[in-house]
Each structure stands twice: as structure tokens, then as C-alpha cells.
């Protein structure tokens, strides 16, 4: 979940690395560091905090033709400058930046310590630089291949040696890494968004590279040279800026209608004829966090419209549980980044049993996209804020459209109309939640309740609020309050009630009034206003525009996203970079 950028150029490359790291802070922002090669010497600067904090510590215009940088999400070792990358070998001959987890580092550390190696950080990365410092081979790339042969786990590695050669040595296993090369400039990065052009090389597992001004040489794990072809990324650099918005999260909430429109166009032109021929016995929808909530909604669509046995499973459980799969099982893997480690591992497991695998992702060049036989883009566009907003709405809409596409061409056309109608309603539904947000911002605990799809919306609303406001938020099925939850209700407890399902709204209201009777403060988000007799029981009532029942969840989700954003800002938090989190979860 860390971000790596390396540059070899005929010109000073410090600025390029720092600018690239700023684009990768969605991957981690606990600390940052940069290593510059000046002559034959390695010079490093580190900072606890953001890349902007690092930039302040770097002297201007240092003449360096090679630099590697890193923005960190801590896995091993506390957040401090000492543990920030680059991590040097004890003899200072090697500097390493690394994304991933070295699972056998305690044993390696023990073995190396017996040989007299002294470790100065708390990171697993230091065993990599220590192995490289043994210099068992004259050829530096052979040293890296040998060292990686002793590692267990996941890694994207950029290593620089103190020598006269200006080259970055690169290794990849289970963590993304890309290379760009043109003229006298070459770059390495965790995401092609850092590159000046859309043509790049993608490293596969157990591949290595030597990157220099003269180009790139690729190697397999046996040290043999291999040839790779470039591929292209669909990345609009203009979409990476905040524009007129103060934060990426708010910008991305406002981009939801654009994403839904792009999704509709994509699905209208997609050929579903092969999928319609599938005989499907059951459906497994797999994701993590927000993507898992989208899977829950997707499972409801499969049951309701196709009558299929559909189940949503968290990827971290799917990969280790004894899940029964066969050739009739349709597995749908949902991931915004397409790099979620648990989701990728779950997909690898499923591929051993069925070829009916669909990846639903926002990144066409991701690992998940490359490994699955069928890929559907959610078309949300770049999403930088850690808390996923427009991507969640597009994931839910994409699952709805997929179900209707499997049902038939006519059903898909009607579903596309419904998505476009909902998109237009969203454009006019950016409500002012001033007092609502003020009330919630002063609280320590918030409950969300709903039934059916409203419960799933409650789960997503609670997740959004907790991850950027740091308020303890919990979501419950409305009918479960009396089975224990009511003990937690007092006169300071807000209860946010989601009630869009007509068949269960009365039951949901009854549960809400049970909470009210115990002192809870009720806030209602519903597709219809309560009757006059009940109106005064609520602190606030927000009525949603009318759309197709399957997509009312998108209209209910929007104000919850805005609520989370406003509460976070009121509490002085950065909604784009919540503490302890990162967006692309590339480690287990």
C-alpha cells in the first residue's frame, strides 16, 4: 500500500520523483523519503508525514541524474523518519524502497544477525538491503535475483547501488510495478499515472529489470533476458487535479453522475451474448470494504431478478474458507483499484474451479483485470480520496446492469434508462446538510438502521462516516435493535434511519420509534415523508427523489457521503487522507 517512484534521466530528476509521489499518496502517507544519486554517492532525505513535508526538507535543484522515492503506509515498525524508506544496508552501499510484506523477515533477520549484520530500523525491508550488501555476484541484477529468491511474501522493489552506474534495479511479486522509458529518460512507479505518456511496461510476478538512461533490460527469475511489449493506460491527467474543490472526496462525490453516464454508455456497447449462454448454478460476489457492500447489493439483484442462489463474501474470508465452487459457479470480484491483495488471491483460488469469472474494477491496467477472463469497467474515472464514493455508486449500478443484461436485451435497455434517470436526479440532489452535520460532528457514537437494501446502505453510510470522521459508527438491521442494541441507546445517541423500501418502511419506522422511546435522536432519509403524527419524532427528515426501486439506494447513499465529508471537515480532519488508512490495499 506504499507508493514508489524512480527516475533515471539526463537532467535533475528530484522534482519528477516528488511530483510523482504526490500522485501516489492515496497509497500511503505516514512518511516519505527520497534517495538521490550524486556522482557515486547516495544521499537521502526523509520526513514523517506527507510528501509535502518531505519536499520542505529537500534542498532545491540538487544535481542528481537518478532518484528513487517512497510514500509509506506502515506495516512493520512505527511511523517515524528512521523507518521511512529508502532503507540503507549497514555499509551504505545499497538503498531500497519497497512495497509489500516480507513474511519470513524474522528468520532472515535472525540468520543475518548471526553473520554480524546490525539492523537499525524496525522494517521488514531492511533484510532486502542486507541481503544485497552481501554482494555474492559481480552483476548487481544477479544480486537482486538471488536476494529475492530468499524472500517470502509480496514485494515491489527498487534498489540503487553506490557505484558509477546510474541504474535502478527492479523486482516484482504480488505488488504492482510499472516502467516507462523514452529517449534518455526512464521511470519506475507503482501506478502509470506518474508517467508523462500512456505507453509503459507492466512487470509480472518474478520479473526483474535494470532501468537506466539507455533503456530497460528485463530478466526472468533465472537471470535470463526476456522481451516485453508496452501497453497503454487510459489515464486523463486533468482528472487528477482537485479543480475548484477543496478536497478530492467532494470533487469525486460530485463526479458520480458523470461516472454513471459513462457506465451506461459502456454497458450499452458491451457484448453480453457469451455471458447469456452461461448456465449459472450459484453466484459468489467477492470484495472488501466498500466493494463488499456493493457485493451485498449485487447479491440482492441476482436473487430478485434471476432467482439465483447469490452470496456476498469478504475476500479475506473467501481465500481461506472452504468455499464450495464448481464449473456452474459465477464468481464476480469487485475492486476499485484492481490491486486489492485479498481480492486477487481470492480470484486465483476461484480460477482453479470455474472459468465463469468476472472482474468489476475501475482500473483497466490492474492486476485483477489482467488475470480474469471477463472484465467490466465501472467507468468511475480516477478516484484519489481514500473513502470511496463515486466508485461505490458505479459498482452498485454496474452490478444492477450486469444482472439485467444476463436477463435479456430488453431488460438491459430498460435498466440503462433507469441508471440515466437516476444520474439526472443525482445532479440536482446535492443537499445542504449543515445542521445535520453539526449535530453529528459533536457525537462520539452514531447508529445507522435499515432493512433489506436499506441495511446495506446503512452499512456503507456507517463505514464512510467512521473512516473519515473517526466517530464510532455502527449499522444494524432495524429489526435487531431489540436483540441487544437498545442497551446502547441514550439521550446523546443519533440514530440515522434509512427507509426507501416500501414493503418494510413501516417496520423500520417502528424500530426507529423504539430507539426514540429510549432517548435516541432520529434522523430520517426516506423516499417518502412520514405522516404528520410522526413528523415531530425526527430531528431531520430528508425526502429522496423518486426513481426505480433498485436504484433508490444510490440516492440514499449520496447524502450519507456528503454527511461524512462535512462532519470530517468540521472536526478538522483531512477527508482525503484518513489516519491509519490507504486506498490501494496491496498487502494482506
298-302 long-range CB contacts below 8 Å, 24 or more apart?
Answer: 298/332, 298/334, 298/396, 298/399, 298/400, 298/402, 298/403, 300/452, 300/453, 300/456, 301/399, 301/400, 301/403, 301/550, 302/403
- Burial of residue 90, with CB atoms counted within 10 A of its CB: 0-12 exposed, 13-18 middle, 19 or more buried: middle
Angle of helix 390-407 relative to helix 552-570, nearest 10 degrees, comes to 170
Contact (Cβ atoms closer than 8 angstroms) between residue 55 and residue 29 = no
Which helix (H) or strand (E) covers residue 554, if one does?
Answer: helix 552-570
Contact (Cβ atoms closer than 8 angstroms) between residue 523 and residue 498 = no
| Residue tagged active-site, from 2, 158, 295, 473 | 2
Residues with Cβ within 8 Å of residue 88, at least 6 apart in sequence:
42, 44, 94, 95, 96, 129
| Residue tagged active-site, from 173, 349, 577, 583 | 583
Nearest-angstrom CA–CA distance, 43 and 354: 51
Parallel, antiparallel or unpaired: strands 87-88 and 94-102: antiparallel
Side-chain half-sphere CA neighbours of 315 within 13 A = 33
Q: Which residues pair with 219 in a beta bridge?
A: 208, 225
Q: Specify whether 224 is catalytic.
A: no
Nine-digit cell at 568?
470530517
- Three-state secondary structure call for residue 218: strand
- Which residue from 287, 464, 283 is spatially nearest to 362, judged by alpha carbons? 287
CA–chain centroid gap for 425, Å, is: 27
Side-chain half-sphere CA neighbours of 8 within 13 A = 24
Neighbours of 266 (CB within 10 A): 15
Q: Specify whether 23 is catalytic.
A: no
Q: How far is CA 30 from CA 74, 195, 564, in A?
A: 7, 23, 22
Q: Could you write out the DSSP letters of every residue in 354-418?
A: -S-EEEEES-TTSHHHHHSSEEEE-------SSS--HHHHHHHHHHHHHHHHHH-HHHHHHHHHH
Q: Could you write out the DSSP letters of every residue in 478-540?
A: GGGGGGTGGGG--TT-EEEEEE--TTTHHHHHHHHHHHHHTTPEEEEEESSPPPHHHHTTEEE
Where b means 16+ CB within 10 Å and e means fewer, 31-60 reads bbbbbbbeeeebbbbbbbebbeebbeebee
Q: Which residue has the cell 463526479?
A: 255
Give catalytic residue positions: 2, 583
Amino acid at each position: 500500500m506504499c507508493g514508489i517512484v524512480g527516475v533515471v534521466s539526463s537532467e535533475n530528476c528530484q522534482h519528477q520523483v516528488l511530483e510523482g509521489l504526490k500522485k501516489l499518496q492515496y497509497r500511503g502517507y505516514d512518511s516519505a523519503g527520497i534517495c538521490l544519486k550524486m556522482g557515486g554517492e547516495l544521499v537521502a532525505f526523509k520526513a514523517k508525514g506527507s510528501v509535502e513535508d518531505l519536499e520542505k526538507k529537500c534542498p532545491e535543484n540538487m544535481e542528481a541524474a537518478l532518484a528513487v522515492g517512497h510514500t509509506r503506509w506502515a506495516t512493520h515498525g512505527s511511523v517515524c523518519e528512521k523507518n521511512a524508506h529508502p532503507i540503507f544496508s549497514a555499509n551504505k552501499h545499497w538503498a531500497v524502497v519497497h512495497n509489500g510484506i516480507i513474511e519470513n523477515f524474522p528468520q532472515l533477520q535472525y540468520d543475518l544477525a548471526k553473520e554480524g549484520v546490525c539492523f537499525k530500523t524496525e522494517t521488514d525491508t531492511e533484510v532486502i538491503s542486507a541481503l544485497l550488501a552481501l554482494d555474492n555476484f559481480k552483476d548487481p541484477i544477479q544480486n537482486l535475483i538471488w536476494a529475492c529468491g530468499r524472500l517470502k511474501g509480496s514485494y515491489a522493489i527498487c534498489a540503487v547501488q553506490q557505484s558509477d552506474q546510474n541504474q535502478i534495479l527492479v523486482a516484482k511479486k504480488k505488488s504492482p510495478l510499472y516502467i516507462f522509458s523514452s529517449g534518455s529518460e526512464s521511470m519506475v512507479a507503482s501506478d502509470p499515472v506518474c508517467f508523462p505518456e500512456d505507453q509503459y511496461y507492466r512487470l509480472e510476478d518474478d520479473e526483474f529489470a535494470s532501468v537506466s538512461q539507455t533503456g530497460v533490460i528485463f530478466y526472468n527469475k533465472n537471470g535470463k533476458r526476456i522481451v516485453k511489449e508496452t501497453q497503454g493506460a487510459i489515464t486523463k491527467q486533468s482528472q487528477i487535479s482537485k479543480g475548484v474543490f477543496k478536497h478530492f472526496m467532494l470533487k469525486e462525490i460530485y463526479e458520480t453522475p458523470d461516472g454513471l453516464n459513462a457506465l451506461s454508455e459502456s454497458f450499452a456497447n458491451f457484448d453480453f451474448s457469451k455471458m447469456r449462454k452461461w448456465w449459472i448454478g450459484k453466484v459468489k460476489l467477492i470484495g472488501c470494504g466498500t466493494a463488499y457492500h456493493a457485493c451485498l447489493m449485487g447479491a440482492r439483484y441476482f436473487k430478485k431478478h434471476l432467482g439465483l442462489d447469490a452470496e456476498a463474501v469478504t475476500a479475506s474470508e473467501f481465500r481461506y474458507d472452504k468455499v464450495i465452487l464448481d464449473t456452474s459457479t459465477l464468481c464476480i470480484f469487485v475492486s476499485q483499484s484492481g490491486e486489492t491483495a485479498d481480492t486477487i488471491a481470492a480470484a486465483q483460488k476461484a480460477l482453479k474451479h470455474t472459468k465463469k469469472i468476472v472482474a468489476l474494477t475501475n482500473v483497466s491496467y490492474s492486476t485483477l483485470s489482467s488475470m480474469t477472463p471477463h472484465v467490466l469497467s465501472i467507468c468511475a474515472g480516477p478516484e484519489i480520496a481514500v473513502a470511496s464514493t463515486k466508485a461505490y455508486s458505479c459498482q452498485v449500478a454496474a452490478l444492477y446492469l450486469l444482472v439485467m443484461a444476463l436477463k435479456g436485451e430488453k431488460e438491459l435497455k430498460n435498466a440503462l434508462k433507469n441508471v440515466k434517470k437516476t444520474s439526472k436526479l443525482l445532479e440536482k440532489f446535492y443537499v445542504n446538510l449543515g445542521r445535520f452535520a453539526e449535530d453529528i460532528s459533536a457525537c462520539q457514537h452514531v447508529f445507522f438502521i435499515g432493512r433489506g437494501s436499506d441495511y446495506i446502505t446503512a452499512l456503507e453510510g456507517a463505514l464512510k462516516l467512521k473512516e473519515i470522521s473517526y466517530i464510532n459508527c455502527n449499522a444494524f438491521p432495524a429489526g435487531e435493535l431489540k436483540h441487544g442494541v437498545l442497551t446502547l441507546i441514550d439521550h446523546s445517541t443519533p440514530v440515522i434511519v434509512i427507509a426507501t423500501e416500501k414493503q418494510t418502511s413501516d417496520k423500520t419506522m417502528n424500530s426507529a420509534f423504539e430507539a426514540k422511546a429510549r432517548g435516541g435522536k432520529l434522523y430520517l432519509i426516506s423516499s417518502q415523508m412520514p405522516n404528520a403524527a410522526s413528523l415531530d419524532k425526527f430531528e431531520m427528515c430528508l425526502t429522496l427523489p423518486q426513481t426505480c426501486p433498485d436504484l433508490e439506494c444510490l440516492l440514499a447513499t449520496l447524502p450519507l457521503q456528503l454527511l461524512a465529508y462535512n462532519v470530517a471537515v468540521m472536526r478538522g480532519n483531512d477527508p482525503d487522507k484518513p489516519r491509519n488508512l490507504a486506498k490501494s490495499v496491496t498487502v494482506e
